[in-house]
Structure 1
Amino acid sequence: MKLYKIFALTCFLVTSLMSAQNKEISLEEIWGGTFRTQGMDALHSLKNGKQYSVLNVDRGSGTTTIDIYDYSTLEKTKTLVSSAGIKGLRYFSDYTFSANENKVLLATNEESIFRRSTLGNYHVFNTVTEDVIEIAEEKIQEPTFSPDGSKVAYGRDNNIYVKDLESGKTTQITFDGVKNKIINGITDWVYEEEFGFVRAFEWNADSNKIAYIRFDETLVPEFSMDVYGNNLYQTQTVFKYPKAGEANAIVSLHIHNLESNNMRAVTLDKKYSDFYIPRIKWTNDADVLSAQFMNRHQNELDLWMIDAEKNTAFIAIAEKDKAYIDVTNNLTFLKDDSFIWTSEKDGYNHIYHHDKKGKLINQITKGKWEITDYYGFDAKTDRIYYQSVENGSINRDVYSISLKGTKKQRLSDNTGTNSADFSADFTYFINSFSNATTPPSYTLNDAITGEVVKEIKDNTELVEALAAYKMSPKEFSTIAVNGNDLNMWTIKPKDFDASKSYPLFMFQYSGPGSQQVANKWHSANDYWYQLLAQKGYIVACVDGRGTGFKGADFKKVTQNELGKFEVEDQIEAAKQLGDLKYIDDSRIGIWGWSYGGFMSSNALFKGNDVFKMAIAVAPVTSWRFYDSIYTERYMTTPQENASGYDMNSPINHVDKLKGDFLLIHGTADDNVHVQNTMRMVEALVQANKQFEWMIYPDKNHGIYGGNTRLHLYTKMTNFIDRTLGDKIAKSE
């Protein structure tokens, strides 16, 4: 039976690997950094478009510098700031320029709060006078220059403050902030995690107004986590976490006028109840603020234009979707305040141009493919720059197109994953490229033609080192499952023999809009799969229905039934692969992390005649336990869709367990709470089902730190060997 077609990338480093490959990968090497690639330091393109800055660290002295480089030569021209020359400032870990680049905000003593949020001490360095100003003695959040560079606004203790850099005066502009009750200008946990931003305040173009979102968390239920630490008594972290169907923070939009010291709440003609404000952004008009309002179901989004002086507002765009609308950062205002907008309204994510009132001027990109990143608009050349999957859903390319939707040009040549970082004036872009056979390489490219100006960095040393190892190609293919051609990759043992029989170990994530089958260089997990292949396993990954970059219908088919179609696809794919003569259908396993752990649990329970074992790391075991914004986007609320929540939650299918099950979680997971695993354990115990589990104290959703990852992957590898590899050991 012909199940799929193998295409491309079936040779791995052909030239480099002609020599004997005898060395086997070890877990210690994977998690010790042996296969780490060299990347580009984070850079900032300067306004002149000809230079960029990079943060460099002197490991010996522990000092940091901001160094300036030329795009054309890639040579360092000068050191702009050095911590060694600033009294009392031994180092800094991040930096931000003012708009005119005369000042630099330097971050020190940063500490993480949640996934994206940090606290730190901050200083402003004047590049002209070389004066240094401390913003505040205390640690603060999200300090941001005003457009004219004269002030810095920041968050502290749930309030907003403004520091005048000329007078040195600090003004507090909100006063009602209270932990776990009221937050001004900084997002709550669920906005940070699911809408992907922390700073919820914005300066206008004239530097005299600040718009901000206020969060009233008073009615949001609290969640607590024990932190065991090293002391005699554990401590406890308590924070507001709205689970599906529970009360969200009440949000409101406010505008503060610094000149009149007047603040007003924005009122709109349309009445909203239980809503979100996922984005705010000032237009080029210093009096006009844009704000996106979204209903709780997240299938209606209104883009408002709000006049802060006239107290008037209108809806420029009102989008509706039968499932949900993704929030992006792609809104871009052009000089005349017409704007760029991306939308899936034609079934695929594309770029649109609207006038300042919201009227559609034209759809710029079209086709049965997706825009995956928007880089910006160059007014001088009338070009929009973007990334898309037009060259196949597993690939990424960089393109340009005119504002009218003509003169489209592919700027990246190599097939695989390309991404771009453009200079401020769109003269150049740094193209990063990799595919399954080529580690990351970086080139300086001409933004008009795409031609390579200069090679910057590659990873030839890693290629040479890997030549000594038993590496297998990652074979890309499609597999026909439940009426769809699903993307798949497979890794086979180096000495694969089709006349033999091999165990199959499957990996997936499967969350809405995600992608695991992508033509790019290896992650740490890929080296683990190589290790498993060296042991005699075939490893495979299938992106089923609900995953991304194949159109809205394919992605949104799972709406209101997370875990139904995705699990059906994994089970059917495993059955088809098990029919291959060289796969032992009695030894098929599956694993995943987070959403993938939810999936692997379900696959083992519901597919108990197909899967012999599963590993679930940090899994959601019932969507009733997860946060409101993510879960309700795909499921609505439990009150509205109880069956959708319960029919596909693995916690309700433990009675079907026949195979071997390993459950893993960190106790300090603020994202997918360890409650998920505890409830799963109790359900398994009461169903009298034997299983194995591992708890990592004080580890978050990433489960890392020290030897933690090595320990985790050693445990999983041993479990796989014990449950799937018995016949491998006997044959050896």
Structure 2
Amino acid sequence: MHRLSALLALLFSASVIAQSVPQKPAPLTVETIMQDPKNWVGTSPSNPFWSDDSKTLYFNWNPDRALGDSLYKVTFTSTTPRSGRAKSLAASQPVKVSPTERRALPTPPVSAFNLAYSQRVFDRQGDLFLLDLKSGSVRQLTNTVETETDPVFSGDQKQVIFRRSGSNLFSMYLKTGELTQLTDFKAGTKKAEAKLTDEEKVLKQDQLRLSSVLKERKKKKDEAERISKADQPKRPKEIYLDDKTLVNPTLSPDGRFITYRLIKRPTNAKTAQVPNYITESGYTEEISARTKVGAPVASQEFMVYDIAKDTVRTVSVKDIPGITDKPAYLQSAKTTKADTAKKVRPVAISSPIWSEDGKFCVVVVRSLDNKDRWIMRLQPETLKLSLLDRQHEDTWIGGPGIGSQNAPGSMGFLGDNQTLWFQSEADGYSHLYTVNVLTGEKKQLTSGKFEVQQVQLSRDKKYFYLQTNEVHPGEQHFYRMSITGGERTRLTNMTGANDVTLSPDETRMAIRYSSSNQPWELYVMEINQPAATAIKLTNSPTEAFKAYPWREPSLVTIPARDGQSIYARLYKPTTPNGKSVVFVHGAGYLQNAHKWWSQYFREYMFHNLLVDKGYTVLDIDYRASAGYGRDWRTGIYRFMGGKDLEDHVDAAKWLVQTQGVDAKRIGIYGGSYGGFITLMAMFTTPDVFKAGAALRPVTDWAAYNHPYTANILNEPQTDSLAYRRSSPINFAEGLKGHLLICHGMVDVNVHFQDAVRLAQRLIELKKENWELAPYPVEDHGFVEPTSWMDEYKRIMKLFDERL
């Protein structure tokens, strides 16, 4: 008995000792890190939005690891301590919103408020609703089979203006419910009235001349038609669209003008078809994808319908300053007489931005070659365009807040109703400017070697709220600044990325925050309380994920051969094995050497696995990456695989010189644009990189899409040199090291055809040191965990065996 008691005591003691000793986390494997993220990493909160009274925060979340995210909410209260100190913020635990409550919720607060911010209109499931912000009551305005969308208040605040079935504009008087149709857009072409021939005209005239009865009857008929027409209520003008597409009809605040765009899509633009082999039907099915760069693009017109005069006119762009300028890359080319003629470049005009009092209208005009952006005042009565700002680039227009051919970018009117604020890269970085639409006086409000990445005007129009990266290119913080510029007050303090959603009353910030080794979580913070701290609302990672000591990579700068500094993430092993892997992020214009949780979280985990095995891993923000201003963004103009590849070669040299890496044991890999750079590296600098994995790579830029590629390389028919030197398939004979190509077969972005063409080229070149791994059910971004596992097992094997 005593022996048994002693044995039990010994076992209990050993158990206690074992529990008190920290357990080592299980070693990382490809199977572990590439499994379904919600079961391993956890699901971060997303899409936060506030209730209209600023007391409740809603967000999507999935802590239960269900098939899909659910809507959650946190409610807030302010308490006053007895000591008389400042109020403190208290938050409830996150609670899942019931389906009944979710269906009854108004949509997230958007810009469709009245001027007094006492009411808001919104659409939900194709019907319109009016929310009274003080009482919280919701009034349903429509309940129809047709779809009503995009409601806004009229300039006089008495009506709601909206679109029905995606095209025609309607108004509804809030007091009476009276519904008025404002436009009558019709598809197709108006049938022309049958015209009499000359013979028929003579015959008719003779009949009326010879018969007084016919003449009298015609007179009575014409009079009846005149009276009937006069008695009919006034209807909007019939506007036939012919073979064009209607885009965004908009009513002016004074209710007189309707502006809209017409887009005519080319009929001779061939669309690529992507074959899908793994289908429910058992037959190969084709997926309609996209056109290729250089294909004919849609033409656009900007129209003004003057309701008072019942006329429709097209805004002319022929007098815009610089509209006939020839792009710089063509100016040195041989010209013909036809080339020297002044040609008006095709443009796209954005939907108008009106001052609140309706006196001023501004549009953004973008040349379709993307070399120019004009901000112009439009006088709709005369159709006169007056220049407020022109940004011209020999490369291409871009950057945060600058917009696109379909969107004007970040801009709006200040409270004086005549000063427009906007963003521009005029000084090399995206900054905030104002311009007076009457005097043309322009002012730069922010400056420096950083980017203004988001802008929001306060409700009282006294402040701007800004997100910038001025602390460090790899940090994002939120600021408040007077509308006149000057000193900025920083409102966030956590190192990393602070993605802020302001409460409607602008007293609180919901912050999606992450650091380089911790996924996104949701925080809340008071704005106007001194020494306020952020309250953490969610805790998303799984226990298994938290058990591993995820590394915080070092942010370093590497000297490039042209004197620039390359920002990079460096992962250093405790016991280096001399091997190194360089990761190339995708998208080209994207940032990954930063202090927040990467969208390449799988690759981040893979890099930790590599470092566990002794590899040194480097991840650089090469030329054309986001976050570093215009010149860095456009550093690849007319030569992709030029300076961007040089940056990787310089980074490899830096690894050898400073990190003890063996120059003969460096590998490179990446997806999409990263796959393209990997191919260029393996083909054109084969002595630098021993092995490479090119995932879903572009092999020939002439086969990629128009909007992205034409910005950087122009068009293949006008700038063939740019395409020839930028496309890896032209340099495949340079392959020396070992190459792995992985590609989804139903990729509608970078088509599998790219990989197939390169494979045939390598076969004809009699290269043997390469392999192609096709993934039959995957698009550009892989979805299935088994596909991720297979791909990264191949990458791991490549580097383990070939470096």
1:193-215 CA-to-partner distances (Å, cap 9, x unmatched) read xxxxxxx4545445775533222
Number of equivalent positions:
662
- Cα distance change of structure 1 residues 442 and 261 upon mapping to structure 2, 3 Å threshold: farther
Structure 1 residue 254 and structure 2 residue 264: aligned?
no
Where does residue 12 of structure 1 map in the other structure? none
Aligned counterpart, 2:595: 519
Partners of 1:579 and 1:585 within 8 A in 2: no
Kindly indicate whether residue 391 of structure 2 is the aligned counterpart of residue 319 of structure 1: yes
Amino acid at match of 2:580: L
Aligned residue type for 1:144: D
Tell me the equivalent position of 2:798.
723
CA-CA distance at 1:365 after TM superposition: 0.9
SS in 1 for 2:272: strand
Cα displacement (A) at 1:363: 1.1
User: Structure 2: which amino acid aligns with 1:42?
Assistant: N
- The answer (yes or no) to whether the contact 2:512–2:520 under 8 Å persists in 1 is yes
In structure 1, the partner of 2:513 is 433
TM-score normalized by the length of structure 2:
0.73
How much does 1:36 deviate? Answer: 3.5
- Output one character per residue of 1:255-312: Cα deviation in whole Å (capped at 9) or x when no partner: 4567887644333452654434263232124464432222233121111222233433
SS of match in other structure, 1:544:
coil
Q: In 1, are the aligned partners of 2:35 and 2:789 still within 8 Å (CA)?
A: no
Match of residue 303 from structure 1? 375
Residue 197 of structure 1: aligned partner: none
- Residue 689 (structure 1) aligns with: 767
Determine if the alignment matches structure 1 residue 404 to structure 2 residue 484.
yes
- Relative to structure 1, the CA distance from residue 656 to residue 94 in structure 2 (aligned partners, 3 Å threshold; closer, same or farther) is farther
Corresponding position of 2:124: 106
1:469 aligns with one of 548, 563, 571: 548
Aligned to 2:734: 656
Relative to structure 1, is the Cα distance of residues 548 and 96 closer, same or farther in structure 2, using a 3 angstrom cutoff?
closer
Could you tell me how far apart the structure 2 residues matched to 1:37 and 1:656 are? 43
Question: Contact (CA 8 Å) 2:40, 2:542: kept in 1 or not?
Answer: no
- Does the 8 A contact of 2:379 with 2:385 survive in 1? yes
| Distance change >3 Å, CA 645–CA 451, structure 1 → 2 | farther
Q: Which protein is richer in helix relative to its size?
A: 2
Alignment match of 1:213 (pick from 238, 261, 267): 261
Closer, same or farther: CA 453–609 of 1 in aligned 2, 3 Å: closer
- How many Å separate the matches in 2 of 1:74 and 1:205? 42
Work out which structure has the larger RCO, using CA pairs closer than 8 Å and 6 or more positions apart in sequence. Answer: 1
Find out whether 1:390 has 2:485 as its counterpart: no
Mark the structure with the bigger radius of gyration.
2
Change (3 A) 1:515 1:454: closer
Name 1:282's counterpart in structure 2: 353
Query: Contact conserved, 1:615 with 1:716, CA < 8 A, in 2?
Result: no
Alpha-carbon distance between aligned partners in 2 of 1:306 and 1:474, rounded to the nearest angstrom: 51
SS of match in other structure, 1:680: helix
Residue 22 of structure 1 corresponds to: 25
Corresponding residue of 1:175: 186
Q: Distance in 2 between matches of 1:428 and 1:636?
A: 46
Are the aligned partners of 2:586 and 2:670 in contact in 1 as well (CA < 8 Å)? no
> Can you list the C-alpha shifts for 1:683-726, whole angstroms capped at 9, x where unaligned?
2222222322233345432232xxx2x23332232223332213
Match of 2:583 among 488, 495, 507: 507
CA spacing shift, 1:652–1:173, aligned 2, 3 Å: farther
- Partners of 2:349 and 2:670 in 1: CA distance: 29
Q: AA paired with 1:302? A: W
C-alpha distance in structure 1 between counterparts of 2:254 and 2:305, whole Å: 13
Amino acid at match of 1:371: V
Alignment pair present for 1:184 and 2:260: no
Aligned residue for 1:145? 151
Q: Is 1:354 matched up with 2:427?
A: no
Whether 2:450 is the aligned partner of 1:369: answer yes
Task: Please say if 1:640 is aligned against 2:718.
Answer: yes
Whether the 8 Å CA contact 1:594–1:619 is kept in 2: the answer is: yes
What does residue 478 of structure 1 align with? 557
Amino acid at match of 1:143: T
Aligned pairs for 1:476-625 within 5 A: 476-482=555-561, 483-493=563-573, 496-498=574-576, 501-509=577-585, 512-522=588-598, 523-579=601-657, 582-625=660-703
What amino acid is aligned across from residue 716 of structure 1 in structure 2? E
Identity within the alignment, %: 21
Task: State whether residues 316 and 358 of structure 1, in contact with CA within 8 Å, keep that contact through their aligned partners in structure 2.
Answer: no
Structure 2 residue runs without a partner (length 5+): 1-20, 79-88, 132-136, 190-241, 324-343, 404-408
CA offset digits 1:531-578 (Å, max 9, x no partner): 333344332111222323333223322222122111112123223324
Structure 1 residues 209 and 591: CA distance shift in structure 2, 3 A: farther
Deviation at 1:34, TM superposition (A): 3.6
Task: Write the distance in 2 (CA, Å) between the matches of 1:56 and 1:497.
Answer: 39
Change in 2 beyond 3 A, CA 1:613/1:212: farther
Query: Could you list the per-position Cα deviations for residues 406-435 of structure 1 after superposition, in whole angstroms to 9, with x for gaps in the alignment?
Result: 232222222222222122343322233322
Specify the alignment match of 1:115 in structure 2.
none
Q: Which residue of 1 aligns with 2:203?
A: none
For residue 350 of structure 2, give the secondary structure of its aligned residue in structure 1.
strand
Q: CA RMSD in A?
A: 4.0
> In 1, Cα distance between the equivalents of 2:68 and 2:542?
31
- Alpha-carbon separation, structure 1, partners of 2:68 and 2:551: 41
Asked if structure 2 preserves the Cα contact closer than 8 Å seen for 1:64 and 1:83, the reply is: no
Tell me: CA distance 1:369–1:480, structure 2 relative to 1, closer, same or farther (3 Å).
Answer: same
Deviations 1:656-700 (A, max 9, x none): 112222223334333323332232222222222232223334543
Structure 1 residue 603: Cα displacement: 1.0
| Structure 2 counterpart of 1:244 | 293
- One-letter amino acid of the structure 1 residue matched with residue 456 of structure 2: Y
Match of 1:113 in 2: none
Query: How far apart in 2 are the matches of 1:21 and 1:61?
Result: 31
Out of 306, 311, 316, the position equivalent to 1:267 is 316
Instruction: Report the CA distance between 1:455 and its aligned residue.
Output: 0.9
**SS of match in other structure, 1:322:** coil
The Cα shift of 1:366 comes to 1.5
Which deviates the most, 275-284 or 586-595? 275-284
- Could you tell me how far 1:654 is from its partner in structure 2? 0.7
1:490 match: secondary structure: strand
> 1:525 and 1:93 mapped to 2: Cα distance?
39
Q: Distance in 2 between matches of 1:257 and 1:55?
A: 44
1:594 partner amino acid:
S
Q: Secondary structure at the match of 1:406?
A: coil
- Give, in whole Å, the separation in 1 of the partners of 2:758 and 2:106: 41
Q: Determine the structure 2 residue equivalent to 1:222.
A: 270
Secondary structure of the structure 2 residue equivalent to 1:462: coil
CA 1:207–1:713 in structure 2 vs 1: closer, same or farther (change >3 Å)? farther
Rounded to whole Å, the distance in 2 between the matches of 1:477 and 1:506 is: 14
Compared CA separation, residues 56 and 464, structure 1 to 2 (3 A): closer
> Is this contact kept in 2: 1:439–1:463, CA < 8 A?
no
Deviation at 1:621, TM superposition (A): 1.5
Gaps of 5+ in 1: 1-17, 108-121, 187-199
Q: Deviations over 1:339-393 (max 9, x none)?
A: 111111112221111112472442111112222222334536x221111121111
1:418 corresponds to which of 498, 501, 508: 498
Query: Out of 23, 43, 47, which is 1:42 matched to?
Result: 47
Distance in 2 (CA, whole Å) between partners of 1:321 and 1:449 is 44
Q: Secondary structure at the match of 1:584?
A: coil
Contact 1:280–1:289 (Cα < 8 Å) also in 2: no
Shift of 1:320: 1.4
Task: Tell me, in whole angstroms, the C-alpha distance in 1 between the residues paired with 2:453 and 2:798.
Answer: 39
- Cα distance in 2 between the residues matched to 1:612 and 1:292: 49
